[in-house]
Amino acid sequence: MGVPKFYRWISERYPCLSEVIVDSEIPDFDNLYLDMNGIIHHCSHPDDSDVMLRIPQEQIFADIFAYVDTLFNIIRPKKVFFLAVDGVAPRAKMNQQRARRFMSARTAEEQIQARIRKGEAVPTEKRTVFMSELHKALSAWLSTKIEKDVAWRNIRVYLSGHDCPGEGEHKIMEFIRHERSLEGYDPNTKHCLYGLDADLLMLGICSHEPHFSLLREEVRFSRPQSKKTGVSSANRINPNQIKFHLLHLSLLREYLSWEFYPLKTTLPFAYDMERIVDDWVLMGFLVGNDFIPHLPHVHIHEDALPLLYQTYIQVLPTLDGYINESGILHLKRFEIFLKAFAANDRRYFLQKCGDERYMRSKTENYPKEKNNVAGEDLRLSSASSQDESADSAEGSPSHKAAFVSSEESDDDEVDSTAQLPDGGLQSASVLLENFNSEDDSELCDKLCSAIAAVDVKEINEAFENDIENCWTKSVSNSFRRHKREYYRDKLKFENISKSELREQAEGYVKAVQWNLHYYYRGCVSFYSHHYAPYISDVIDFSNMDITFELGEPFKPFEQLLAVLPIASSECLPPSLRELMCDKESPIADFYPTDFRTDLNGKKNDWEAVVLIPFIDEKRLLSAMGSKMLLLTPEEKSRNSFGDILVFTSSCTNSNKCSTLPRDAFHLDSQSIKYGLLPNVKMDVYFPGFPTMKHLPHSAVLKQDMLAVAESIIDKEVYIDWPILKVEFNSRYRSGQP
């Protein structure tokens, strides 16, 4: 699961989180967890720019084993080594997986056609049982490794394969929650989690295990390269050529304590950093992830996160507690927070409007911009909170349109050609009194001209108030129309009603709660919308009753039918393949070959919303019913769930492999232990785990490298923090980074 651009943003805002791994400086870790999805992708697709690249399966397996061995030898865990392969994803993730697969298929088809036009060969190899064969090979390799490699002795090795439902990182978090619930668990266990997804930061920190680090490859934030670091000319991944980083979540916790430092003196209730961490995780959901579409105009690249943090610092002291209560939304507090954050709708709208008017003035010789007080071109503005609350007031018929401009509901029309009294102030006052339609450009022109003609000496407080009311009305009406257009264009509501808007808002809140449940307690349900409603429309939900049921996961073939495009139909048995390829299939509409995408405020094609139909679960399972009887015994085996494999070995006992039920680590909500555990050591320095707590320092968020560099020229300083080394600083000079 990912949060696009989050890792880069957080690395730039908190620059000392990561350190390059050096063999002699690696901390001691008790447990190492591998999210195998990244490793499998690295080894099977070392060059993402060439989707047609084919590598022999035996080579892929060998590279995967070498990668796993390298990571083990870097960290050398003392107690647990947990390998988690992605299994069947929850329904919510299937929507996102489906979008990615369809986009990949279209990209591959474009490359195929380009090669055909050039007369180049096109690879035709299809891998239909790749994951099943990988699971068998990986199990055998682990068994041999534990038996022959003494470094693997006396630890527990777990393999949760593709036949165990769930995403890899969430299998890992479920295991950690289970371990924390056991009697005798060491609250100072040191964890290391390998994975590529940016949301691992949130997953790790919401575990409230303070001694937690993330291991990942070095990421260079620059233009994409044709080859990844560590990829040889023979298109093989070589982990020995890759630079790895450790990102310390203990440092992230300290950075967050500075981020929200103002709250220490402003809260009317007890300041609790663990609860602030939980609320920080919640705020991260609002910029969107694999399960929730981002709110309109709430983008990381437009500094949405700092705005969320500033709003939180302002709003929390006005509440009676924290918003995220160990994975459960306090709806009333969340609604107050969103209402405050919705003010950014207005700021964005006015800024966007100003930009559009400026561009129009440059391209269309727009001479009246200087005098346009009423804002005749306000097409992207925000309604005032007063107007919005009036819309949502109880007693309004739910079937009525949610966004009706005031001029659309007025019975009296203004005659813009009516004779006006002479004189600037009198003319302007009459126009202001009658103004109710920003679409009437002739009236706007007259109003602007009249205001411009007013003598400054004639302006009084009443006239100024009339101008302000005119502006507010204009902005409000414009924003209502804009939001109506948004719901029409994005969510296909011709004129969305109040009941439909409420349904959208409650659906979004339910999705946020689902995500919290997934992070803190385990998987339950799903959210099926391409777009989110406006923040200012997510209101009046504090009395919602949010409940989820833990349903049965899809079987492997059911998931494949749900997420794969026609181009990947070979991954399915022949009896199921025709459901995708036959135009007379009852679910043929699930597999369009032509579809639209929508950037929806994003910058890159890979961030676009893929507009393909969501899967109707009932129709899918109904269509599969009779086809399942045609599966061979081997195919039925591939379509079944498996167990978790546990490998153990010691100096006295030979290698032993046992199994656990696939849900062995699942806990009910009452059995989960939330927050910090008793006897955890927070202020003790553990070698290799950096901390700022023992360094006299203050925190200021600004770009000031030059001032720092000049102050330490020709002095002995510590470098490579947090692993400190003494060096005489003669390198840094004014004007150099």
Using alpha carbons, select from 322, 303, 309 the residue that is nearest to residue 261: 309
Q: Decide if 572 contacts 580 (C-beta within 8 A).
A: yes
Q: What is the CATH number of domain 6-86+128-256+650-670?
A: 3.40.50.12390
The residue among 562 and 545 whose pLDDT is bigger is 562
In the numeric block, which tokens belong to residue 539? 């209101």
pLDDT value for 723 = 59
Collapse the DSSP code of 97 into the 3-class scheme (helix H, G, I; strand E, B; otherwise coil) and give the result. helix
Q: How many CB atoms lie within 10 A of CB 239?
A: 20
Domain boundaries, the chain: 6-86+128-256+650-670, 95-125+555-640, 263-553, 702-737
Q: Residue 575 half-sphere exposure, CB side, CA atoms within 13 Å?
A: 14
pLDDT beyond 50 at 482:
yes
pLDDT beyond 50 at 379:
no
Q: Give the pLDDT band of residue 269 (cuts 50, 70, 90).
A: very high
pLDDT value for 299 = 84
pLDDT value for 504 = 81
Average pLDDT over residues 643-670: 87
pLDDT beyond 60 at 645:
yes
Collapse the DSSP code of 724 into the 3-class scheme (helix H, G, I; strand E, B; otherwise coil) and give the result. coil
CA distance 42 to 46: 5
H/E/C letters for each residue in 613-674? CCCCHHHHHHHHCHHHHHCCHHHHHHCCCCCEEEEECCCCCCCEEEEECCCCCCCCHHHCCC
Query: In terms of C-beta density within 10 A (0-12 exposed, 13-18 middle, 19 or more buried), how is residue 146 classed?
Result: buried
pLDDT value for 46 = 80
Percent of the residues in the chain that have a pLDDT greater than 90, as a whole number:
35
The secondary structure element, H or E, covering residue 248 is: strand 244-248
Percent of the residues in the chain that have a pLDDT greater than 70, as a whole number:
69
Backbone angles phi, psi at 20, to 5 degrees: -75, 135
Residue 15, C-beta contacts closer than 8 angstroms, at least 6 positions apart: none
pLDDT value for 256 = 96
Q: Give the pLDDT band of residue 707 (cuts 50, 70, 90).
A: low
pLDDT beyond 70 at 606:
no
DSSP structural state of residue 317: G
pLDDT beyond 90 at 651:
no
53-90 pLDDT, tens digit per residue, is: 778 899 999 999 999 999 999 999 999 999 999 998 87
pTM above 0.85, yes or no: no
Query: In terms of C-beta density within 10 A (0-12 exposed, 13-18 middle, 19 or more buried), how is residue 461 classed?
Result: exposed
Average pLDDT over residues 390-414: 50
The residue among 425 and 236 whose pLDDT is bigger is 236
What distances in angstroms separate CA 693 from CA 7, 257, 262, 687, 719, one per listed residue?
A: 24, 11, 18, 14, 18
Q: Decide if 575 contacts 563 (C-beta within 8 A).
A: no
185-235 pLDDT, tens digit per residue, is: 999 999 999 987 778 999 999 999 999 999 998 766 554 444 444 544 455
- The reply to whether CATH 3.20.20.450 applies to domain 95-125+555-640 is no
Helix 273-285 / helix 249-259 crossing angle, nearest 10 deg: 90
In the numeric block, which tokens belong to residue 16? 């000392």
Among 242-256, 423-437, 688-702, where is mean pLDDT lowest? 423-437
- Phi and psi based region of residue 421 (left: phi greater than 0; alpha: psi -120 to 50; beta: remaining): beta
Among 351-360, 362-371, 618-627, where is mean pLDDT lowest? 362-371
414-446 pLDDT, tens digit per residue, is: 444 444 444 455 555 555 555 554 445 455 555
What distances in angstroms separate CA 134 from CA 272, 487, 494, one per listed residue?
A: 46, 45, 50
Query: In terms of C-beta density within 10 A (0-12 exposed, 13-18 middle, 19 or more buried), how is residue 501 classed?
Result: buried
pLDDT value for 689 = 81
pLDDT beyond 80 at 527:
no
pLDDT value for 449 = 58
Q: Mean pLDDT for the chain?
A: 77
Collapse the DSSP code of 717 into the 3-class scheme (helix H, G, I; strand E, B; otherwise coil) and give the result. strand
Q: Give the pLDDT band of residue 508 (cuts 50, 70, 90).
A: confident
CA distance 446 to 567: 61
pLDDT value for 209 = 96
Residue found under tokens 């068994």? 143
pLDDT value for 499 = 81
Decide whether 6-86+128-256+650-670 matches 95-125+555-640 in CATH topology. no
Q: Estimate the share of the chain in helix, then strand, then coil, as percent rounded to the nearest 5.
A: 45, 10, 45
Q: Is the dihedral angle over the CA atoms 213, 218, 220, 225 positive or is it negative? A: negative
Average pLDDT over residues 632-659: 87
Collapse the DSSP code of 237 into the 3-class scheme (helix H, G, I; strand E, B; otherwise coil) and give the result. strand
Q: How many CB atoms lie within 10 A of CB 346?
A: 18
CA distance 122 to 2: 32
Q: How many CB atoms lie within 10 A of CB 251?
A: 20
The residue among 694 and 644 whose pLDDT is bigger is 644
Average pLDDT over residues 450-456: 54
pLDDT beyond 90 at 676:
yes
Q: What would you report as the CA-atom Rg of the chain, rounded to the nearest whole angstrom?
A: 30
Q: Give the pLDDT band of residue 44 (cuts 50, 70, 90).
A: confident
Q: Is the dihedral angle over the CA atoms 265, 270, 272, 275 positive or is it negative? A: negative
Average pLDDT over residues 564-584: 90
Query: In terms of C-beta density within 10 A (0-12 exposed, 13-18 middle, 19 or more buried), how is residue 174 classed?
Result: buried
CA distance 565 to 99: 9
CA distance 494 to 484: 8
pLDDT value for 197 = 79
Maximum C-alpha span of the chain: 106
89-98 pLDDT, tens digit per residue, is: 877 677 778 8
CA distance 321 to 275: 9
Q: Decide if 84 contacts 261 (C-beta within 8 A).
A: no
